[in-house]
């Protein structure tokens, strides 16, 4: 019975449906499509990802919460970025080149924290350079700003640069470095094929001001969405995280020097107040000048007669107490008034 079931089962299997003829499925060239049919549009991006730029964004140990949020915001805005664990402070900076090679990255943004209050940013083209070191000031993150704008995650940004970047050679080098790091490569797998926000780099007060704006309408009206920070250039090196110095900012003042000058100015103010108090005190003391005695002052003085000193050997008699004779009369009048009131 089992063998019969097997034989019958093999024969009882339904045959596959024959495919329809190609002529029946394909419409004739002259035939018009029905109004109910819809054609699927082709994909938006049909190109290949050729610009293989990858940026490694990480930091050293000892950063505060604001730096951590800024780093996370940059990773969100740059879909071509990668993350890594924090680097130990004792390690040398040239080790970052090996980390980038392991992560298959050719650009790097490294945040270095010192004294738990100063933040430095390294932008480097690994492993051959150049690299630039900045002091990061006035940091405001996306969550802190609470802006009304909101751009699409993974969309490509426009990069807007100040005209100063084309006038001086060190700014031109930084411009090329910013373009290669912050611009999202075309046809990147994680990017969206839209342009809806702008990164602006403005040079003011010998510093580079970074802002992020969203394009909200077709007339190119902008709304800031953050993050924002200011980069104070320190040095530009020929190599990656080191090497010969190509440019050194003469206007740069270290945070330690700035804090020292603040302390000196406070001490100078305190010292000035103390000097003013001493001058006022000396003026008050100097006004009390001793005048010499005038011999003519004694002319109109008449000496009083000296009375002989009398010594009483007997105790003086006590004074007699004089009683007030009018007092009993007053008491009697008050009693009479009370009686009169009660009778009335």
Q: Does pLDDT of 232 surpass 90?
A: yes
CA angle 91, 97, 101 (to 5 degrees): 125
Mean pLDDT of 255-275: 93
**What's the pLDDT band for 192 if we cut at 50, 70, 90?**
confident
- pLDDT at res. 253: 92
Q: Does pLDDT of 325 surpass 90?
A: no
Is 325 part of any domain? no
- pLDDT at res. 35: 53
User: Residue 156 and residue 169: Cα distance in Å, rounded?
Assistant: 27
Mean pLDDT of 245-269: 93
Domain that holds residue 242: 55-258
Q: Does pLDDT of 29 surpass 60?
A: no
Residue 48 structure tokens: 């290949």
User: Residue 95 and residue 91: Cα distance in Å, rounded?
Assistant: 7
Q: Are strands 228-239 and 131-140 parallel, antiparallel or unpaired?
A: antiparallel
Q: Does pLDDT of 23 surpass 50?
A: no
**What's the pLDDT band for 131 if we cut at 50, 70, 90?**
very high
Is 39 part of any domain? no
Q: Does pLDDT of 195 surpass 60?
A: yes
- pLDDT at res. 200: 95
> Cα Rg for the chain, rounded, in angstroms?
48
Is 141 part of any domain? yes
**8 Å CB contact between 107 and 96:** no
CATH of the domain at 70: 3.40.50.10480
Q: Which residues contact 180 (CB under 8 A, 6 or more apart)?
A: 53, 107, 125
Is 324 part of any domain? no
- pLDDT at res. 285: 78
User: Residue 137 and residue 132: Cα distance in Å, rounded?
Assistant: 16
Is 113 part of any domain? yes
Q: Is pTM, for the whole model, over 0.85?
A: no
- pLDDT at res. 13: 57
**What's the pLDDT band for 45 if we cut at 50, 70, 90?**
low
**8 Å CB contact between 68 and 41:** no
Q: Does pLDDT of 24 surpass 50?
A: no
| Each residue's pLDDT tens digit, 46-75 | 678 888 889 999 999 989 999 999 999 999
Instruction: Tell me what the pLDDT averaged over the chain comes to.
Output: 83
Number of domains in the chain: 1
| Each residue's pLDDT tens digit, 219-230 | 778 888 889 999
- Give the number of other Cβ atoms within 10 Å of residue 328's Cβ: 10
User: Residue 143 and residue 185: Cα distance in Å, rounded?
Assistant: 26
Is 248 part of any domain? yes
- pLDDT at res. 238: 93
32-46, 121-135, 219-233: least confident range: 32-46
**What's the pLDDT band for 176 if we cut at 50, 70, 90?**
very high
- pLDDT at res. 22: 44
Q: Does pLDDT of 42 surpass 50?
A: yes
> Which position has the higher pLDDT, 208 or 143?
208
> Which position has the higher pLDDT, 302 or 247?
247
User: Residue 168 and residue 7: Cα distance in Å, rounded?
Assistant: 89
What SS3 state is found at 121? strand
Q: Does pLDDT of 26 surpass 50?
A: no
Q: Does pLDDT of 284 surpass 90?
A: no
Taking the CA atoms of residue 71, residue 72, residue 76 and residue 79 in that order, the dihedral angle to the nearest 10 degrees is 60
Residue 285 structure tokens: 């003391």
């Amino acid at each position: 019975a089992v063998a019969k079931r097997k034989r019958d089962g093999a024969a009882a299997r339904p045959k596959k449906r024959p495919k329809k003829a190609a002529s029946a499925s394909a419409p004739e060239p002259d035939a018009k499509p029905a109004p109910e049919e819809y054609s699927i549009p082709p994909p938006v991006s049909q190109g290949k990802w050729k610009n293989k730029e990858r940026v490694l964004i990480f930091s050293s140990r000892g950063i505060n919460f604001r730096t951590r949020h800024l780093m996370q915001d940059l990773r969100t805005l740059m879909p071509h970025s990668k993350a890594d664990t924090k680097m130990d402070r004792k390690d040398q900076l040239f080790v970052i080149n090996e980390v980038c090679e392991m992560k298959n990255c050719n650009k790097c943004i490294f945040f270095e924290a010192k004294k738990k209050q100063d933040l430095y940013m390294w932008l480097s083209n690994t492993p051959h350079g150049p690299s630039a070191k900045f002091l990061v000031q006035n940091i405001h993150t996306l969550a802190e700003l609470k802006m009304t704008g909101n751009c699409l995650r993974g969309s490509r940004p426009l990069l807007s640069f100040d005209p100063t970047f084309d006038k001086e050679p060190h700014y031109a080098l930084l411009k090329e470095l910013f373009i290669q790091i912050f611009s999202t490569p075309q046809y990147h797998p994680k990017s969206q094929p839209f342009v809806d926000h702008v990164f602006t780099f403005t040079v003011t007060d010998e510093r580079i001001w970074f802002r992020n704006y969203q394009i909200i309408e077709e007339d190119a009206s902008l709304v800031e969405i953050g993050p924002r920070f200011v980069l104070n250039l320190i040095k530009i090196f020929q190599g990656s995280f080191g090497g010969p110095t190509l440019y050194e900012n003469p206007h740069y003042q270290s945070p330690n020097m700035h804090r020292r000058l603040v302390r000196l100015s406070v001490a100078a103010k305190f010292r000035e107040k103390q000097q003013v108090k001493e001058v006022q005190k000396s003026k008050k003391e100097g006004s009390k000048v001793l005048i010499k005695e005038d011999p003519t002052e004694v002319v109109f003085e008449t000496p009083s007669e000296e009375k002989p000193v009398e010594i009483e050997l007997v105790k003086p008699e006590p004074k007699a107490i004089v009683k007030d004779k009018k007092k009993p009369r007053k008491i009697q009048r008050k009693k009479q008034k009370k009686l009169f009131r009660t009778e009335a």
